[in-house]
Amino acid sequence: GAVVSQHPSRVICKSGTSVKIECRSLDFQATTMFWYRQFPKQSLMLMATSNEGSKATYEQGVEKDKFLINHASLTLSTLTVTSAHPEDSSFYICSAGSGLAGALGEETQYFGPGTRLLVL
Amino acid sequence: GDSVTQMEGPVTLSEEAFLTINCTYTATGYPSLFWYVQYPGEGLQLLLKATKADDKGSNKGFEATYRKETTSFHLEKGSVQVSDSAVYFCALRDTGRRALTFGSGTRLQVQP
């Protein structure tokens, strides 16, 4: 099946610094990528939907100036956590949709392995 | 809004035991329902899905039936193996949306 990679898998940073997480679809083109956040023992929460060549759509309550998303190509989306603080520590997961137009119910999303961020 | 509730884990079973992981949902439209599995160190993988009421999704011995009357999509397997040890997520995609709404995940541990 299709593969989605994330880099890095784990990152530790100091408070106030910025961290960039990459999400790549390795063997297919993804017009849309999704960024999720997961707290321990909780659901994956959708943060934003990233569309290639256009601005991301953020979910209510997600600060777009803090979580910068860039989807510059059909195989790469990046999430930058700006001025990170300890409360941003979490597990960030991306997924890429195969994008079957007009058949939303049949689209399969492929998930990356996640990036664990720890802000000290 | 949409939500998915699934049983808390961990669920610990012996090999060849019967598995049920409960999942119920609320949605504003007519959602598609999914079960995803996450093996240690890997990304979520689609296990099975159902797109309308009374559909049964099945894969690798796992089954789940879309029950609209009880808003449920319980995951079952007749005989689990050690290799089934993983975290299982129930999810839905509501009408007109591409993103998924997930449950909190249930960790399954199968002992030899």
Write the pLDDT tens digit of every residue in A18-73.
999 999 999 888 888 999 998 877 788 999 998 888 889 999 999 999 999 998 88
Average pLDDT over residues B35-49: 89
Are B13 and B111 a contacting pair, CB within 8 Å? yes
Span B26-37, mean pLDDT? 92
The residue of chain B nearest to residue A32, with distances taken between CA atoms, is B98
Q: What is the dihedral of CA B5, B42, A55, A101, to 10 degrees?
A: -80
- B34: closest chain A residue by CA: A108
Q: Do residue B43 and residue A43 have CB atoms under 8 angstroms apart?
A: no
Q: How confident is the model at residue A120 (pLDDT cuts 50, 70, 90)?
A: very high
CA dist B37 → A41, A87, A102, B47 (Å) = 15, 27, 27, 6
In B, minimum Cα distance to A114 occurs at: B43
Q: Which of B44, B47, B48, B93 to mutate to test the interface with A (most CBs of A within 10 A)?
A: B44
Specify the DSSP class assigned to residue B67. Answer: B
Cβ contacts of B89 on chain A, cutoff 8 Å: 44
Residue B73 scores a pLDDT above 50: yes
